[in-house]
A and B are shown apart, each in its own frame.
Chain A
Amino acid sequence: MQSYFCPAFAGLQQINQNSFQMEQAKKNKGVWWLVFLASTAALVFAIYTHWEWLTLILPFQTTAFVKALDII
């Protein structure tokens, strides 16, 4: 309601909201990068040890990668 009376307040509110959204997006990307790195490490380990479940790591790794790069 205050924003109707004070344009400066509305502007500040908007900036605050935008920075919050950007921070959220950055945090989410960080999580996806972490998932990608963990799954890549798991994949390398699986290849090295000839683990039979290694192909099942690929969907998680590739999904995390495209999410981290914001492709989807």
Chain B
Amino acid sequence: MIISYKSWKILFLFCLGLFAGTAFCMKWMEKAFIHNGSLFTIIGLEISYPREQVVSILSGLDGQVKTMLRHHPNFDFVFMLGDYPGIAALCMMAREKTGSNILRQILFWLAFSQIIAWACDVYENGSLLRWIKGPGTICGFGFYHLAVMVKWGLALTAALLAIPLSFRKRRIDTQQV
């Protein structure tokens, strides 16, 4: 399968637009997440809050905050469409700019692994939506945290490796049409 650098760039720019738009909407929503007078965060619900705190937050929400909190994962589903394909495209762009065979292989597999990160994010969002609907149903917290860690690990590794490499000057011999 040969796809030119230009095609990956078009995909990346499309994804970047989707990513920026949905990220802005989600950031705007986060101001409304108030429980007992203090702000809570989605990152906290994903990673740092213990199970008891998550149960207490989700079961003590008023109607408006609950509605906003339900909208957040729904926007996140659209955000995923920009995020993971965008990172994969960035990895493939960086791959075109590097001469090292090992690095090219790593970047290819990191691009491919974004589908796993995407699946983990879908699982995480689905769990969160179910828990918002019925806070009494919170279970499988360990697996939920594992999915979140895998998602962040794969996405951050790929992005942090691909971003500096994609700023390099493009190699002439890899230009494909």
Cα A10 to Cα B155 with chains together (Å): 54
Least CB distance from A72 to B in Å reads 5
Tell me the count of chain B residues lying within 8 A, CB to CB, of chain A.
16
Question: B80: nearest residue on chain A (CB-CB)?
Answer: A55
Cα A53 to Cα B115 with chains together (Å): 12
Residues of B near A56 (CB, < 8 A) are 115, 118-119, 122
Cα A59 to Cα B119 with chains together (Å): 12
Q: Given A52-B122, A52-B129, is A72 in contact with B115 using a C-beta cutoff of 8 Å? A: no
Among B7, B85, B122, the residue within 8 A (CB) of A59 is B85
A interface, size bucket:
under 10
For residue B126, CB closer than 8 A to chain A, the reply is: yes
For residue B22, CB closer than 8 A to chain A, the reply is: no
Residues of B near A67 (CB, < 8 A) are 1
Cα A53 to Cα B119 with chains together (Å): 8
For residue A25, CB closer than 8 A to chain B, the reply is: no
For residue B43, CB closer than 8 A to chain A, the reply is: no
A55 touches B126 (CB 8 A): no
For residue A15, CB closer than 8 A to chain B, the reply is: no
Cα A59 to Cα B7 with chains together (Å): 15
Question: A52: nearest residue on chain B (CB-CB)?
Answer: B126
Q: Given A52-B129, A72-B1, A72-B2, is A58 in contact with B122 using a C-beta cutoff of 8 Å? A: no
Rank and list the top 9 A-B pairs by shortest CB-CB distance, nearest first: A52-B126, A72-B3, A53-B122, A55-B77, A72-B1, A55-B81, A55-B80, A56-B122, A56-B118
Residues of A near B1 (CB, < 8 A) are 67, 72
Least CB distance from A58 to B in Å reads 7
